[in-house]
Amino acid sequence: MERVFNKISCLMRKWRSRAPRKVSETSKVRDSLSIFCEGNGLDIGFGGDPIVPHAICLDLAEPYAQYCDYPQHLKGDGTDLFWFRDDSLDFVYSSHVLEDFEDTSAVLNEWFRVIKIGGKLVLFLPDEIAYRAYCLQQGKPPNEHHKHENFGLKSLKDLVDIRPDIEIIHEKCPSCIYSFELVLRKIS
């Protein structure tokens, strides 16, 4: 058992030591959010830099961000996780993707469909108002893919509050200048 632990520790050190070409959003919160990504899970929109090395990596066929060279396992936009049965994953992680969908509620429903009872949805997302202010301050245009001007922790919690099958187990706002962290557990 100790040999297995030592081998896993060695692999984790090697994995964490691989420096990304640019700093991914995930790399900013890996220490605080990877603890929620245990078991079998999916990283949606991973950009070449998965939250944990064992995550199944899903991104667009032509990703618009590529931070590291980790392999992409699945190609899709995250709206239809047809590869997975209901209640089959321990976690779904996504960083700075959910705000790109017009129908946020439908996407959340699909992501929760594949999470087991007791499993977690781990999110790192922009607070759109803070993000746009940051872009203005930096003299850069905001991301054209963001669909909602008022997207943020409050708007997402409003969607979650109407679902009796979900509980919030972690939230942090602000996180990393213009973002927030939200971890939800499926309870029924």
d(CA 73, CA 56): 6
Residue 16 has pLDDT above 90, yes or no: no
Least confident piece of the model among 6-10, 66-70, 85-89, 128-132: 6-10
Residue 107 reports pLDDT greater than 50: yes
- Residue in 72, 134, 117, 79 with CA at minimum distance from that of residue 101: 79
Domain limits at 76? 2-186
Q: How many CB atoms lie within 10 A of CB 184?
A: 27
Predicted confidence at residue 5, as pLDDT, reads 45
For residue 22, is pLDDT > 90?
A: no
Question: How much is the pLDDT for 40?
Answer: 98
Mean pLDDT of 125-135: 93
Low-confidence winner among 2-6, 60-64, 80-84, 172-176 (lowest mean pLDDT): 2-6
Res 39: pLDDT: 98
- pLDDT-derived band of residue 144, with 50, 70 and 90 as boundaries? confident
The CATH number of residue 134's host domain is 3.40.50.150
User: 82 or 142, which is more confident?
Assistant: 82
- Residues 18, 36: contact at Cβ < 8 Å? no
What pLDDT sits at residue 71?
79
Residue 61's pLDDT is: 80
CA distance 39 to 27: 20
Average pLDDT over residues 140-148: 88
Quick one: CA torsion of 135, 137, 140, 146, rounded to 10 degrees? 10
Domain count, the chain: 1
Determine the pLDDT at residue 21.
54
Mean pLDDT for the chain overall: 88
Q: Nearest-CA neighbor of 151 among 115, 188, 101?
A: 101
